[in-house]
Amino acid sequence: MSPDLEACTFETCSVSDSPYGYRPSLIANACFLAAISLCLIACLGITTIRRRCLGISFLLATCCSLELVAYSQRVMGWRDPWDVTYYDIGLIFSTVSPVFLTSAIHLSAAKLTTALGAEHALLPSFLHARLLIPLDVVAFAAQALGLAITLADSTPHAGLGPLAASGRWSAAAGLALQAAGVAVCLAHLAVLLARAASAARRHGYTTFHRGRGYVPLGRGVRLAAVGVPTAAALALARCAYGAVVFVGGLRGGLARDQELFIGLEGVAVTAALGLAVASHPGLWPRSAGNDGDGDAAEKGRGKRLRDGPENRLSREVEETLDEVSSLILRHSRLLEASSSDGSSEASDRTSLMSGRGFRGVPSEVSDRTSLVSDTRSEVDIGIAR
């Protein structure tokens, strides 16, 4: 017969009778609280200073806040492991909070795709986010529904009730769906990084940024190229662990193994949060194709590349084409004036202009067109070099 959990103390009951099945570790949960607090402070600092990528900042800050609530409840559970309220609140927040983390990872992966070159990716950056973010929303809804059913008949005296066996399937399905989205993101990042690295080895750059030219990636993007996929892998491990725990039941052996929880829930989520914050796109330079500010050195290198010979030649081509267009437009207006006026002076002017050009086009236009062809050849030679 199960004891009355509300009346249990360390003298009268065993911790194995508690909803956790063990006494939560004070040291481990305090460490998680400290690390996640640092992540939250860093995220808010990046947002305040950079004021960019606010969606990612919001998702990471929300995940940190929910995780802080979850681990504070586990610290309270160390004082009284039989308190069902601490257990229920901690379970809810620790289950759903990583959804915000994986959504932030998806958005960061989309930014990384733009920085390294969308031509290397399996999915366009906008499609990547549009597919996987809604998947996280559905996963969140399934997890919330499963938790609502699981804890519907939980009482302070007996803990989990019979409905826990029914609600676990919805929660497990939500976690599995979340894991599937992270797996797709990992595959996308693996292909992106492999192709971008190959392009960098062959050409010395990964992509050509419109209006910026060939520019260095910068430390922020290089860190994100490692941090984002690593965070995704940790999030995938945590989602898989959570799904298996719910399938086995909250009274099963996996759910009552504190070492597994610390490793695959606490360490995995905390490390993934730290990597996601360190890889925040707000820290990337503008020269990497992001809308952010880089440091002075990176800005200087980007400016030198934008002002290089290839880009100067391209601007000369554009200016020459504008002049050619103006000359053709001016010539067309003169022809219209001569036909409507009917005067001999206009006719002589038209005949004179026809003799100077080819097929009625002034020789000045022909000269400009030749200049465009020569300049384009110089552009091709400069790019080849």
Within 10 A of 2 (CB to CB), how many other CB atoms are there?
Answer: 9
Distances from the Cα of 349 to the Cα of 330, 337, 342, 373, angstroms: 13, 11, 12, 29
pLDDT band, very low/low/confident/very high, at 288 (cuts 50, 70, 90): low
pLDDT at position 237 over 80: yes
Q: Are residues 233 and 357 in the same domain?
A: no
CB neighbours of residue 238 within 10 Å: 27
Lowest mean pLDDT among 51-60, 110-119, 161-170, 184-193: 110-119
> What CATH number corresponds to the domain at position 260?
1.20.1070
Q: 190 and 54 in one domain? A: yes
**Residue 201 pLDDT more than 90?**
no
Q: Do 313 and 279 have their domain in common?
A: no
Buried b (16+ CB within 10 A) or exposed e, 48-60: eebebbeebbebb
**Dmax of the chain from CA atoms?**
119
Asked if 28 contacts 70 with a C-beta cutoff of 8 angstroms, the reply is no
Asked if 291 and 315 sit in the same domain, the reply is no
Name the residue with higher pLDDT: 268 or 194: 268
As for how many domains the chain has, the answer is: 2
Highest mean pLDDT among 217-221, 231-235, 318-322, 332-336: 231-235
Q: 240 and 323 share a domain? A: no
Q: What is the pTM for the complete model shown?
A: 0.73
Q: Which of 271, 296, 321 is the last residue of a domain?
A: 296
Would you say residue 111 has pLDDT above 70? Answer: yes
pLDDT category at 119 given cuts 50, 70, 90 is: confident
**Span of 63-77, 103-117, 141-155 with lowest mean pLDDT:** 103-117
Q: Looking at the structure, tell me whether residues 136 and 277 fall in a common domain.
A: yes
Residue 52: its pLDDT value, please? Answer: 83
Q: Are 34 and 261 in contact (CB under 8 A)?
A: no
Answer yes or no: is 95 within a domain.
yes
Higher confidence at residue 122 or residue 20? 20
Backbone torsions φ then ψ of 254, nearest 5 degrees: -65, -40
* Final residue of a structural domain among 276, 296, 316: 296
Q: How many angstroms separate the CA atoms of 133 and 131, rounded? A: 6
pLDDT digits 0-9 by tens, 45-61:
999 998 888 999 999 99
Is the Cβ–Cβ distance between 243 and 172 less than 8 Å?
Answer: yes
Range of the domain at 170: 5-296
Does the pLDDT at position 337 exceed 70? Answer: no
**Residue 303, domain member (yes or no):** no
Domain shared by 256 and 201, yes or no? yes
Is the pLDDT confidence value at 266 over 90?
A: yes
Query: Average pLDDT in the 134-152 region?
Result: 97
Residue 372 confidence (pLDDT): 45
- Phi and psi dihedrals of 361, rounded to 5? -100, 130
> Do residues 145 and 20 both lie within one domain?
yes
Same-domain status, 288 and 374: no
* Nearest in space to 90 (alpha carbons), one of 79, 104, 105: 79
- Cα–Cα distance for residue pair 258/279, rounded to 1 Å: 30
Are 332 and 274 in a shared domain? no
Please name which of 53, 69, 140 lies closest in space to residue 104, comparing C-alpha atoms: 53
202 CB-contact burial (10 Å; exposed 0-12 / middle 13-18 / buried 19+): exposed
* 44: phi then psi, degrees, rounded to nearest 5: -65, -35
Instruction: Name beta bridge partners: 213.
Output: 209
Better-predicted residue by pLDDT, 333 or 303: 333
Nearby residues of 319 by Cβ (< 8 Å), 6 or more positions away:
none
Q: Is the dihedral of CA 277, 280, 285, 288 positive or negative?
A: positive
User: Can you tell me the distance from the alpha carbon of 188 to that of 193, in angstroms, rounded to the nearest whole number?
Assistant: 9
184 in any annotated domain:
yes
Cα–Cα distance, 210 to 281 (Å, whole number): 19
Look at residue 282 and tell me whether its pLDDT is greater than 90.
no
pLDDT at 253 over 80: yes
Closest CA to 273 of 21, 28, 43: 43
Contact 334, 353 (CB under 8 A): yes
- Asked, for residue 174, whether it belongs to a domain, the answer is yes
Q: Which residue has the higher pLDDT, 293 or 162?
A: 162
Task: Give me the torsion for CA of 190, 194, 196, 202, rounded to 10°.
Answer: 180
Query: How are the residues of the chain apportioned to helix, strand and coil, as percentages rounded to the nearest 5?
Result: 75, 0, 20
pLDDT for 326 equals: 55
Last residue of a domain, one of 243, 269, 296: 296
Mean pLDDT of the chain: 79
Q: Categorize the per-residue pLDDT at 10 as very low, low, confident or very high, splitting at 50, 70 and 90.
A: very high
Both 90 and 57 in one domain: the answer is yes
| Six token digits for residue 272 | 């993934």
> How much is the pLDDT for 383?
43
- At residue 295, the pLDDT reads 36
Asked whether residue 301 is assigned to any structural domain, the reply reads no
- 248 and 190 share a domain? yes
